[in-house]
Amino acid sequence: MLRYLARKLFIYLLTFIVAVTIDWAIPRFMPGNPVDALVSRIAMMPDANAALTSYFMAAFNLDQPLWQQYFNFWKALFNGDLGRSIMLFPTPVTTLIGRALPYTLGLLLPSILLSWYVGNMVGALAARRKILDNTVLPLGYLLTATPYMWLGILLAWLLGSVLGWFPLAFGYDQALKAEWTWRFFGSLVFHWVLPFASLFLVALGGWAIGMRNMIIYELESDYANYLQALGAPARLVRKYAFRNAMLPQITGLALQLGAVVGGALATEIVFSYPGLGWLVLSGIQNQDYFVIQGVFLFIIVGVLLANLIVDIVYVVVDPRTRVGLQGDAA
């Protein structure tokens, strides 16, 4: 068990290093130079250009050789320093992420967990119940096949513009100061509903279908037939089937995380919701290396951690994994 965990950790560490290296490299292999963009935003005489460009190049350490920049990056990372934003110079990237992260987490965690939970429940109920199966299933397929942003905009238009029930955009009411009152809190929740709903609905369908199919597999498996033959009550059989069906759904959760994060970024853009998606989009538009790599780093760490947790949970809940560990390391 310990050896297994140690090996897992080692692999995760390696994955982390490779992923972070790619993360660092991606913006740097793009054509163009972020400082040019920064300098061109300052209206000035052309001859001052060179001086200012070299000043900023030095300020961002972009004048150093690449290997040195890479080394600096790791060194700073261990000090919890993600560098300074180029587009919002001289704000540290950690400040920007700190500002945006709560919004993204507030969207992501509830929508992932709730959709997983509700989806599994609905899927389990639907399995082998003809009426439910014939209504829930098609709906689930439609939801999971819907483009996030299209659904988001449609929701915003129907519930926001036409009916006026929910706000169209932003993280909170622009008439309020960001303060710690019930009113502000209510406004936060109010603005959270639509982006949450569009993420939740799309993910919900996928989980429901997955669960439904899994349970059917389980109910048709040998042990279930055996139990039934022994005269075990249907409830008991279903309970066992449900438990076994949960395992792949947990793995699925980990596998889906990356995609869900992508969906959340897209949803934030639709709703002008000030989370990481919004931040990384403006980072990309402004060629802000440090913001791009900082946000990606957060996502990488988040997804890796979630995978690790799922792996450990898996070992705990499924005794078979503990036995057959040596051959199967995924």
Partner 1 sequence: MTSTDSAAPAAAGKTHGNEFLYFASRNTKLVIGTVVFVLFLLAAIFGPMLAAYQPMTFDAPPGLPPSAEHWFGTTLFGQDVFSQFVHGLRSSFIVGALGGITAAAIGMFVGFFAGYRGGLVDEVLNMLTNVVLVIPTFAVLLVVAAYLSVRGLGTEALFIGLTSWPWAARAIRAQTFSLTSRDFVDMARLNGEGTFRIIFGQIAPNMSSYLVMTFILLFGGAILTAAMLDFIGLGPTDGISLGLMMNYSVMNAALQLGMWWWFVPPGLAITGIVGSLYVMNVGLDEVFNPKLRAL
Partner 2 sequence: MSFAIDRRTFAVVTAAALMATVAGSALAQSGEYPRNETLYMSGAQWGNIVGFNPYFGNFANGLVGLVNETLFRYDPIADKYIDWLAEKGEWESDTVYKVTIRSGIKWSDGEDFTAEDVKWNIDLGKLPTIWWSDLYKSIKSVETSGNTVTVTFDGTPNYQAWQNAVWNIPMMKPSQWKDHATEAEITSWTPDAPIGTGPYVFDKSGYDPTTRVVWTKTPDGWWASKAGISPDPKPKYIIDLVNSSNNVALGLLLAGRQDLNNNFLPGVATLIAGGYGLHTYYDKPPYMLPAVTSWLLPNTKKAPLDDAAFRRALAFSINTDQIAKVDYGNVVLPASPTGLLPVWDKYIDQAAVKEHGFSYDPKKAAEILDKAGYKKGADGFYQTPKGEPIDLKIEVPSGWSDWMQAVQMISADAKEVGIKITPKYPDFNTYQSSRNTGNFDLMIENSQPLSDTPYTYYRYLYQLPILKSQTNYNFARFEDKEAWDLTVALAKTPRSDIDKMKEITGKLQVRFMDELPMIPLWYNGAWAQMSTTTWTNWPADGTDRQFIPISWRGWLQMTGLDTITHLEPAGQ
Q: Please identify which residue in 7, 75, 129, 183 interacts with partner 2, judged by CB under 8 A.
A: 183
> Is residue 329 a contact residue for partner 1 (CB under 8 A)?
yes
> Is residue 303 a contact residue for partner 2 (CB under 8 A)?
no
> Is residue 33 a contact residue for partner 2 (CB under 8 A)?
yes
Binding residues for partner 1 restricted to 135-194, rule: CB under 8 A: 137-138, 141-142, 144-151, 153-154, 157, 161
Neighbours of 189 (CB within 10 A): 12
CA 163 to chain centre: 30
> Is residue 128 a contact residue for partner 1 (CB under 8 A)?
yes
- Name the packing angle between helices 234-270 and 148-155 (round to 10°): 80
- Name the packing angle between helices 93-126 and 276-285 (round to 10°): 130
Closest CA to 119 of 266, 303, 245: 245
The smaller minimum CB distance to partner 2, of residues 144 and 287, is found at: 287
> Is residue 305 a contact residue for partner 2 (CB under 8 A)?
no
Q: How far is the CB of 48 from partner 1 (least distance, A)?
A: 28
- Binding partner of residue 209 among partner 2, partner 1, none, CB under 5 to 8 Å per kind? partner 1
> Is residue 198 a contact residue for partner 1 (CB under 8 A)?
no
- How many whole angstroms separate alpha carbon 163 and alpha carbon 325? 55
> Is residue 296 a contact residue for partner 1 (CB under 8 A)?
yes
Q: Which two tokens stand for residue 14?
A: 């390696």
> Is residue 233 a contact residue for partner 1 (CB under 8 A)?
no
Neighbours of 112 (CB within 10 A): 21
CA 226 to chain centre: 41
Binding residues for partner 1 restricted to 244-263, rule: CB under 8 A: 244, 247-248, 251-252, 255, 258-259, 261-263
**Binding footprint of partner 2, residue count (CB under 8 A):** 77
The smaller minimum CB distance to partner 2, of residues 164 and 231, is found at: 164
- Helix, strand or coil for residue 92? strand
Q: Please identify which residue in 14, 113, 142, 154 interacts with partner 2, judged by CB under 8 A.
A: 113
Binding residues for partner 1 restricted to 66-105, rule: CB under 8 A: none
Q: What is the CA radius of gyration of the chain?
A: 24
Q: Which two tokens stand for residue 45?
A: 């005489």
- Binding partner of residue 148 among partner 2, partner 1, none, CB under 5 to 8 Å per kind? partner 1
CA 37 to chain centre: 30
Closest CA to 194 of 164, 166, 161: 166
Q: How far is the CB of 110 from partner 2 (least distance, A)?
A: 5
Q: What's the longest Cα–Cα distance across the chain?
A: 90
> Is residue 101 a contact residue for partner 2 (CB under 8 A)?
yes
> Is residue 163 a contact residue for partner 2 (CB under 8 A)?
no
From 8-16, 31-39, 208-216, 228-236, span contacting partner 2 (CB under 8 A) = 31-39
The secondary structure element, H or E, covering residue 97 is: helix 93-126
